[in-house]
A and B are shown apart, each in its own frame.
Chain A
Amino acid sequence: DAGVTQSPTHLIKTRGQHVTLRCSPISGHKSVSWYQQVLGQGPQFIFQYYEKEERGRGNFPDRFSARQFPNYSSELNVNALLLGDSALYLCASSLATDTNTGELFFGEGSRLTVL
């Protein structure tokens, strides 16, 4: 079975541009979460979606947005890119909406470089 797939794997943008990152969860998983991992740090929670509704949001500015589609895939959008947005963006899927009942399965990430 396919795991969590993310695209693109690498991309380079310039300041002020916007970016769209895509994630396909494991088949049957209805929850998708997004994390930002800056080099040398642990992942930080950005969003969680379950059944196409936003269930949680981390401490990120409004430049960050996301959505989940009827097939449970998800997009993360970042507008007005800053140098500090350079990071590995990880998508994770799970069967359940909360962390005590659902193991998170992570994709390999999309590495964004902002110049």
Chain B
Amino acid sequence: AQSVTQLGSHVSVSEGALVLLRCNYSSSVPPYLFWYVQYPNQGLQLLLKYTTGATLVKGINGFEAEFKKSETSFHLTKPSAHMSDAAEYFCAVSFQGAQKLVFGQGTRLTINP
């Protein structure tokens, strides 16, 4: 069975500081990995995804994530936080041929001025 664990339900950083949101997964087959962002009262928007190929994936809004198979991790980073990055972030896992995503519980990112 697949599962996703997001370490830290709430992360707070200062504007301009590094953002690091942690995600670890469990999968018995090669995983596909995703990060979604959810702004208040909105649906989820895809930030980036890893399916095959390069393990460092760049997404929208300056975010990137690195797939580390040995650590079963897919942490999300952004070098310099902006106030507009405040939102809920969800890591998700799937695999080839699957019809569904399995989501983590989410991490709420707060940006301090």
Contacts and interface: CB of A to CB of B under 8 A. Distances in A.
Contacts of B46: 103-104
- Contact size range, A: 20 to 34
Contacts, number: 67
Interface of B: 4, 32, 36, 41-46, 49, 51, 90, 92, 94-106
Contacts of A107: 43
Contact of B100 (A4, A33, A41, A42): A33
A103 B49 contact: yes
A106 interface: yes
Given A98-B98, A100-B32, A106 B43 contact: yes
Given A33-B99, A48-B99, A90-B44, A43 B90 contact: yes
A66 to B, nearest CB: 13
Nearest to A96: B99
